[in-house]
């Protein structure tokens, strides 16, 4: 399928200015905002399925590529949670000013979504959120899932080169994690206390996920005091949750949340 060219907005100032690519679909009432994972793009399987559903049901949808990802500008190695959060909020303000929206955060996008919740609350704008749907959420992943498992060589790489590499199961290119990502991640941790979302939260989590263990999602639930929190465990589900049955479950869950 031929992709329409994205729109762009500029985020940041001076040398930190970068062009962020957006695909936005107008629609009635509540919309769906896609927040992708680390090194994922807005034309991935799940994001495309959500946009198709939105088109067929007259709903608004919005997705973007973080800087250093996909069609957006900027260097990937400059990326941090603070930087990608700034971009996500800028897109949300530019394209989702009307109505209330379901934030769908996949993997690292779940972390970005939770930080957006906190920043919107500071602005007294929690009413702009209808619900959160988190797919294999990876909040605080450098601290919670990586630091304790770093080898001495990886620690040395971070200190001497400013980044480390590890093989990727999803690409021929290695995953690159910078010291800046680790340091900034510590400043953006959300699993240090209670996370007040002010809206329903649903988590979809594969129990066969090699990247984000389902125990991490269960730990996240313990930090969500809102009684309207639920989780669906997919026994044979992996990290991507991109099989036909996973996509069907994703869409059904969005329909439930957006029509509540």
* Among 149, 120, 139, CA closest to 220: 139
Q: Which of 51, 65, 140, 209 is catalytic?
A: 209
CA atoms lying within 13 Å on the CB side of residue 232: 16
Q: Which candidate in 24, 107, 184, 216 is catalytic?
A: 107
What CA–CA distance (Å, rounded) separates 207 from 222? 18
Q: Is 143 a catalytic residue?
A: no
Instruction: Determine how many CB atoms are found less than 10 A away from the CB of residue 34.
Output: 25
Select which of 69, 88, 239, 246 is catalytic.
239
Residue 72 is a catalytic residue: no
CA-nearest of 149, 139, 142, 146 to 219 is 139
Q: Is 209 a catalytic residue?
A: yes
List of E strands, the chain: 7-11, 18-25, 28-35, 59-64, 101-106, 129-135, 163-166, 175-178, 201-206, 229-234
Report, as residue numbers or ranges, the catalytic residues: 107, 209, 239
């Amino acid at each position: 399928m031929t992709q329409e060219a994205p729109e762009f907005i500029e985020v940041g100032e001076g040398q930190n200015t970068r062009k962020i690519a957006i695909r936005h679909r107008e629609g009635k009432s509540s919309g769906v905002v896609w927040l992708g994972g680390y090194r994922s793009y807005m034309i991935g399987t799940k994001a495309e399925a959500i946009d198709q559903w939105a088109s067929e049901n007259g709903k608004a949808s919005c997705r973007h590529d973080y800087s250093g990802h996909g069609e957006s500008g900027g260097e990937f190695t400059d990326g941090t949670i603070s930087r990608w959060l700034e971009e996500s909020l800028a897109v949300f303000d530019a394209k989702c000013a009307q109505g209330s929206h379901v934030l769908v955060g996949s993997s690292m996008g779940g972390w970005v979504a939770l930080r957006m919740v906190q920043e919107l609350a500071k602005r007294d704008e929690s009413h702009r959120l209808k619900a959160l749907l988190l797919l294999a959420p990876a909040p605080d992943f450098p601290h919670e899932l990586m630091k304790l498992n770093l080898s001495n060589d990886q620690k040395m790489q971070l200190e001497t080169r400013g980044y480390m590499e590890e093989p990727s199961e999803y690409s021929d290119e290695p995953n690159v994690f910078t010291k800046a990502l680790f340091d900034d991640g510590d400043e953006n941790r959300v699993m240090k206390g209670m996370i007040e979302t002010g809206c329903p939260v649903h988590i979809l989590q594969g129990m066969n996920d090699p990247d984000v263990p389902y125990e991490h999602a269960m730990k996240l639930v313990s930090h969500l005091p809102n009684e309207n929190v639920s989780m669906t465990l997919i026994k044979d589900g992996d990290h991507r949750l991109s099989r036909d049955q996973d996509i069907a479950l994703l869409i059904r869950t969005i329909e439930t949340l957006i029509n509540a």
